[in-house]
Amino acid sequence: MEFITNFEYLLPLIFFIVALVYSSVGLGGGSSYTAIMILAGMSSLVVPMLTLILNLLVSSIGSYNFLKNKHAKISIIMPFLISAIPMSYLGGSLQLPKEIFLIILLVSLVAVSARIYIWKDNGFRFILSKRKKIAVSIVLGSILGILSGIVGIGGGIYLVPLIIALGIGSHKQAAATGAIFIWMVSLSGLISRMQYNSIDLSNYVNLIIAVIVGGIIGSHFGSTGLNPKQMEKVLGVIILVAIIFILRRLIY
């Protein structure tokens, strides 16, 4: 397709913008990277591995900045990681047929779109006991962990608003938890995948550099001069297009 061929030349710029916007709020941008690469016609074997690598790079920068500014709280982060790390490893080890991978990816991208366009933070917060917060964190960690290992999406885009809505942590603590969570599950999923699959990173140096630069700028300056919510909705259009594209591939 001519669209995909031309789109390929825009990838470094688009990846830079994605890293810039998402790193400013403690996210890796995995859902957008995945959607973009699917539209660019990349292999279903390459997409999750490269997304995990890019997530790892962006979230490592964000994690460092949040840790340096003491926003991370171990009591919030650990319950998520206890279940997420092994589940991400398990997800990365599953060698799923291409059609199953696309179906899981489709469902996850639909959920991301709902999170971007439908989720409204009206200020309502659940009041949970400490024990319930830990239990909920473990369950969420396992679900997001296996999703990350399978399709490469770090899960931070779901995790950060849920931490706030469930009253588990503040906005800064949620962003810090999201960055560290993405880093850990991406590393776990990547280690698992590298045992049976590999990609030549020299083919993607331009994308890696774009993401690193965008991640450094975004995480350092916070929201920069951009409105993260509005930019997220703009980037969400790419995800919506990818959903249509995946549906066409599955149907036809």
Is residue 64 packed enough to be buried (19+ CB in 10 Å), middle (13-18) or exposed (0-12)?
middle
Calpha distance 234→228 (Å, rounded)? 10
Contact 97, 137 (CB under 8 A): no
pLDDT band at 224 (very low <50, low <70, confident <90, very high): very low
Mean pLDDT of 152-171: 83
Give yes or no for residue 6 having a pLDDT over 70: no
pLDDT tens readout for residues 143-152 = 999 999 998 8
Global pTM value: 0.81
Confidence at residue 63, expressed as pLDDT on a 0 to 100 scale: 79
Of 178, 188, 180, the closest CA to residue 91 belongs to 188
94: exposed, middle or buried (Cβ count in 10 Å: 0-12, 13-18, 19+):
middle
Tokens of 193: 């995948």
Which pLDDT does position 229 carry in this prediction? Answer: 66
For the stretch 117-133, pLDDT in tens is 887 766 666 777 888 98
Q: What is the pLDDT of residues 204-222, one digit of tens each?
A: 999 999 999 988 888 776 5
State the Cα–Cα distance between residues 235 and 109, nearest whole angstrom: 12
**So what's the pLDDT on residue 176?**
83
The pLDDT tens digits for 167-207 are 888 877 888 888 889 899 999 999 998 888 888 888 899 99
Short-list 101, 65, 59, CA closest to 81: 59
For the chain, the structural domain boundaries read: 8-251
Average pLDDT for the chain: 83
**3-state DSSP helix/strand/coil % of the chain, to nearest 5:** 75, 0, 25
CB 19 within 8 A of CB 214: yes
Q: What is the structure's pLDDT at 16?
A: 92
pLDDT greater at residue 226 or residue 78: 78
pLDDT tens digit string along 73-103?
Answer: 888 999 999 999 999 999 999 888 888 998 9
Question: pLDDT digits over 24-81, tens only?
Answer: 776 778 888 988 888 888 888 889 999 999 988 888 877 777 777 777 788 899 999 9
